Structure 1
Amino acid sequence: MTRAHDMGGRYGYGAIHPDGEDEPVFHEDWHARAAALTLAAGALGQWNIDMSRHTRECLSVRDYSSFSYYEKWIAALADLLVETSVLTTDELKGEAAEGRHALSYSALRAEAVPEVLAKGSPYTRPGRVAPHFTEGQAVRLRRHPENTHVEGGHTRLPAYAAGARGRILRLHGIHVLPDTSAHGLGDQAEPLYAVAIPAVELWQMPEHPNDEVVLDLWQSYLEPA
């Protein structure tokens, strides 16, 4: 199933115009607040980044198509807060019961933000699964891009690249598999590769046929070419 968010490789959306050097990081004050609120809520430890991404993907087609970037963040955050029982819908409406919330004691404080952001959340894991592919090896991406663990679930294999041929550029190490991590099924970590894919493998008439697209892909997404 191709969802509204999986838009890579499609025609008809016009040219991409990157922001210039003088562009601000946030175009509106509330964009910064949305980013800060999302990071602070994530620091409560009730979900991981893959769950957060999947929740944005699960927004209705109408909302996903009409919301701006940070509107998607806020809408998904509201869903996450309720789905994980951090807040109730009444509390989101400002109708909270009297008293202090239990999670308020683990809230991210302003003075701790630099250290928390610098530390990050490493998604590498010690070698649990042996790499099957080597640098320069020809591979083919799995023909079906769907999550093979959860029907309709989160995956980092873009639909437009499914079935394409490429070559291994490098091994990044052993990383948490988002297809399971997003659904509470554990890390199930496996090798993650940078894979170079010729433009002619992705589009019938590419404007620049000698170009390559480099995707980071997990081992279970690949097979020998």
Structure 2
Amino acid sequence: MNGIHDMGGMHGFGAIPDIDGPEPFHHDWERHVFAMNVALGGLGLWNIDMTRAEMEATAPEDYLAPGGYFYRFLLRMERQALKYDLASPEEISSGVVSQPPRSGLSAMKPEQIAVMVAKGSSSMRPTENEPRFKVGDRVRARRINPETHTRLPRYVRGCEGVITLVQGSHVYPDDSCHGDENPQWLYAVRFA
């Protein structure tokens, strides 16, 4: 998808602020939004690539609004809660539960959230295919303009690079955002 989220290499947004220390959160509400993000993801209704695609669907004026990264998380979670019948628009606007929870779902326990954040989950998948490229091969990134999610940044599309690492077969995010894992070989590519 070509949108405001693909900001790599763009100028005009000011300096990137330093983060002092290992703590990624600047406010308590950010910590809570992050925990809700992991807990909701633990329901198994969507995968990380569906989450990225939903984040990319954020309107530019909301994407660039004050509040930054975790504010975008919150907007995305609200849309997913509506899409997957986890909350009604009234519940989201009021903050008050008015309907019984969706049945058939198991919530993560708080201690499971810490484990999920620490360990994550692997995107590696088995494959019968051999890798198409090897370390040192020169490759050219496709010049694409998809209407949906892609992990190929705009600033390297059509550019030539060199394979520096073959990382195994992984879920292909561009298809995974539609529910199809379609494992592909993953390469690290160095671009000039």
Given the two structures, how large is their TM-score scaled by the length of structure 1? 0.77
Distance in 2 (alpha carbons) for counterparts of 1:69 and 1:39: 15
Distance in 2 (alpha carbons) for counterparts of 1:2 and 1:119: 31
**How do residues 1-225 of structure 1 correspond to structure 2 at under 5 angstroms?**
2-21=2-21, 24-67=23-66, 68-92=68-92, 93=94, 94=96, 96-97=98-99, 99-103=100-104, 106-144=106-144, 146-147=145-146, 152-184=147-179, 186-198=180-192
Distance in 2 (alpha carbons) for counterparts of 1:72 and 1:143: 28
Offset, 1:100:
4.9
Distance in 1 (alpha carbons) for counterparts of 2:101 and 2:11: 51
Distance in 2 (alpha carbons) for counterparts of 1:91 and 1:196: 47
**Kept in 2: contact 1:128–1:189 (CA 8 A):** no
Size of the aligned set, in residue pairs, is: 189
What's the CA shift string for 1:40-95, capped at 9, x where partnerless? 01101100100111111101111112141111000000001111222222332425
CA change 1:9–1:75 in 2 (3 A) is same
**Kept in 1: contact 2:30–2:70 (CA 8 A):** yes
Return the letter of the residue paired with 1:18. Answer: D
SS in 2 for 1:66: coil
Return the letter of the residue paired with 2:151. Answer: R
Return the letter of the residue paired with 1:36. Answer: A
What's the CA shift string for 1:139-179, capped at 9, x where partnerless? 111122x33xxxx1000001111111110001111011111
SS in 1 for 2:64: helix
Given the two structures, how large is their TM-score scaled by the length of structure 2? 0.89
Q: Which runs of 5+ in 1 are unaligned?
A: 199-225
Offset, 1:192:
0.5
CA RMSD of aligned residues (A): 1.9
SS in 1 for 2:187: strand
Question: Of the two structures, which has the highest relative contact order with CA contacts closer than 8 Å and spacing of 6 or more?
Answer: 2
Single out whichever of 67-76 and 86-95 deviates more from structure 2: 86-95
**Kept in 2: contact 1:128–1:190 (CA 8 A):** no
**Kept in 2: contact 1:2–1:159 (CA 8 A):** yes
Return the letter of the residue paired with 2:163. Answer: I
**Percent of pairs with identical residues:** 35
Distance in 2 (alpha carbons) for counterparts of 1:66 and 1:117: 26
Distance in 1 (alpha carbons) for counterparts of 2:114 and 2:44: 17
Offset, 1:127:
1.9
Distance in 2 (alpha carbons) for counterparts of 1:25 and 1:10: 23
What's the CA shift string for 1:3-56, capped at 9, x where partnerless? 1111111123334343233x6331101010010011101101100100111111
**Kept in 1: contact 2:172–2:182 (CA 8 A):** yes
Distance in 2 (alpha carbons) for counterparts of 1:54 and 1:42: 14
